[in-house]
């Protein structure tokens, strides 16, 4: 088996192991994050069973979609500029990074033009980091309420990028807060809103994230090695 195949297998095993100890016992979807890696590498991952591809830049994403085609699902996981929505909203299954009204307005407008429903996750800045996108924790519910009547946006859950720290206890606490927020929103029973996905956990922290209720993880370097910038 190729290196990528081996690493993918190992990550899957760890996901399954964490799932067995998780709060929910739910199945976990793995998104292979391919940013900075070439099409050949991605094709190899697909041959080894990758079904979902995550990219954080629009230009890279569109290039790869063009080259690889519709045999996998694509996820927009990075900060999204409003003026680039038009290039990707019909080609991704999920935008993970909805975090502001201007972006919601643009997605709603584009979805309306082509009569598409655009599936999105609300991104939460769980570590309250100035350098990161995402809604502040207390702002998530008010934001969600402000876009409830957007007919072309479907909110499918929450996403977060945890701080890059080695403090497992702290990370666990943050992931727990995310799960609590997901439950809080679920219990409000907004029409047309489903908290299907909790997208959290990356190479360094997906084990903890899954234990605390993540059912979608975004893993890059553990599968593809260091990024080539």
Judged by CB under 6 A, which of 11, 65, 78, 207 binds ligand PLP? Answer: 78
56 is a contact residue toward ligand PLP (CB under 6 A): yes
Report how far Cα 128 is from the mean position of its chain's Cα atoms: 18
Shortest distance (Å) from residue 222 CB to ligand PLP: 6
Q: Where does this chain touch ligand PLP (CB under 6 A) — which range of 1-9, 126-134, 175-183, 213-221? A: 213-221
When CB distances to ligand PLP are compared, the closest residue is: 220
Near ligand PLP by CB under 6 A, which window of 10-18, 62-70, 173-181, 215-223? 215-223
Contact code string over 129-168 relative to ligand PLP, x by CB under 6 A:
--------------------------------x-------
Q: How far is the CB of 109 from ligand PLP (least distance, A)?
A: 25
From the list 70, 19, 1, 45, the residue with the least C-alpha distance to 220 is 45
Instruction: Return the residue of 19, 35, 110, 119 that touches ligand PLP, per CB under 6 A.
Output: 35
Of residues 22 and 97, the one with the C-beta less far from ligand PLP: 97
Residue number, 201 or 213, with CB nearest to ligand PLP: 201
């Amino acid at each position: 088996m190729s290196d990528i195949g081996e690493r993918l297998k190992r990550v899957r095993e760890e996901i399954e192991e964490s799932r067995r100890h998780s709060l929910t016992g739910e199945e976990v979807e793995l998104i292979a994050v391919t940013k900075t890696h070439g099409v050949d590498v991605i094709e190899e991952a697909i041959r080894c069973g990758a079904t979902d591809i995550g990219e954080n830049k629009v230009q890279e994403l569109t290039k790869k979609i063009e080259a690889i085609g519709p045999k996998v699902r694509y996820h927009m996981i990075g900060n999204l500029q409003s003026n680039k929505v038009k290039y990707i909203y019909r080609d991704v299954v999920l935008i993970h990074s909805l975090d502001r009204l201007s972006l919601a307005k643009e997605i709603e407008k584009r979805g309306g033009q082509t009569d598409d429903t655009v599936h999105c996750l609300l991104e939460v800045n769980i570590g309250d980091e100035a350098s990161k996108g995402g809604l502040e924790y207390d702002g998530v519910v008010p934001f969600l309420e402000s876009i409830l009547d957007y007919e072309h946006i479907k909110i499918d859950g929450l996403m977060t990028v945890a701080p890059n720290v080695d403090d497992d206890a702290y990370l666990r606490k943050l992931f727990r807060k995310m799960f609590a927020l997901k439950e809080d929103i679920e219990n409000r029973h907004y029409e047309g809103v489903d908290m299907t996905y909790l997208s959290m956990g990356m190479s360094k922290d997906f084990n903890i994230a899954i234990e605390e209720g993540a059912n979608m993880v975004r893993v890059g370097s553990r599968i593809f090695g260091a990024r080539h910038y």
